[in-house]
């Protein structure tokens, strides 16, 4: 999937979790909401650090050369970072980073931020499972899994199905989430404005 589809998929998964499990009535600070959204978006693109042409590397002054080094260290695109092993490693690194940052932003619930990051990360792998390339979920087993099992029936990254069906469908889901929970969203906003 393309970066923009991963971005929208990550925020859609976060919205689904928030509205259907945690619930808008949960007491949550505005700073936690904002940092969680940021963490979710970082998690949504994190697995692609193994791709030197990823937008992440283009936004850094010397990102190209660093991206090529990281690509080689991680075994290339859709290898470690696109597996359950990668999920565990990213999860541990994120947890450590958030523990170090906690004293700097004590009003932020780092557990919720970590969950938001992990939701974005997992959404990336799930979305890539629907592409022709598949995902090596069980690395070091050299098998890439895809849905549906027949490769020719899967989505081609950046083509018609992704751009005309998947991406607009995810946007529509977000519109549905926020319109059906409009009162709850307003309550959260009012709680933080007053």
pLDDT at 184 over 60: yes
DSSP character string of 55-90: HHHHTSTTHHHHHHHHHHHTTSTTSGGGSHHHHHHH
Q: How far is 63 from 69, CA to CA, in rounded Å?
A: 10
Query: Does the pTM exceed 0.75?
Result: yes
Residue 194: the pLDDT is 56
Q: How far is 125 from 67, CA to CA, in rounded Å?
A: 20
High-pLDDT (> 70) share of the chain, %: 96
What residues make up the domain containing 18?
3-193
Residue 78: the pLDDT is 86
Number of domains forming the structure of the chain: 1
For residues 91 and 107, the answer to whether their CB atoms sit within 8 Å is: no
Residue 152: the pLDDT is 93
pLDDT at 1 over 70: yes
pLDDT per position as a tens digit, 72-125: 888 878 889 999 999 999 999 999 999 999 999 999 999 999 999 999 999 999
């Amino acid at each position: 999937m393309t970066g923009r589809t991963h971005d929208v998929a990550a925020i859609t998964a976060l919205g689904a979790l928030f509205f259907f499990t945690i619930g808008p009535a949960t007491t949550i600070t505005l700073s936690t909401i904002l940092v969680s959204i940021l963490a979710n978006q970082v998690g949504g693109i994190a697995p692609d650090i193994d791709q030197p042409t990823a937008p992440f590397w283009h936004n850094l002054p010397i990102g190209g050369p660093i991206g090529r080094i990281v690509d080689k260290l991680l075994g290339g695109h859709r290898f470690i970072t696109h597996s359950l092993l990668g999920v565990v490693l990213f999860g541990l690194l994120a947890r450590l980073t958030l523990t170090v940052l906690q004293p700097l932003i004590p009003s932020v619930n780092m557990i919720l931020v970590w969950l938001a990051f992990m939701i974005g990360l997992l959404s990336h792998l799930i979305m890539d499972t629907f592409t022709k390339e598949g995902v090596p979920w069980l690395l070091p087993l050299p098998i890439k899994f895809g849905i549906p099992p027949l490769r020719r029936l899967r989505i081609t990254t950046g083509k018609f199905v992704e751009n005309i069906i998947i991406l607009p469908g995810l946007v529509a889901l977000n519109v549905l989430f926020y319109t059906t929970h409009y009162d709850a969203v307003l309550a959260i906003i009012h709680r933080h404005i007053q």
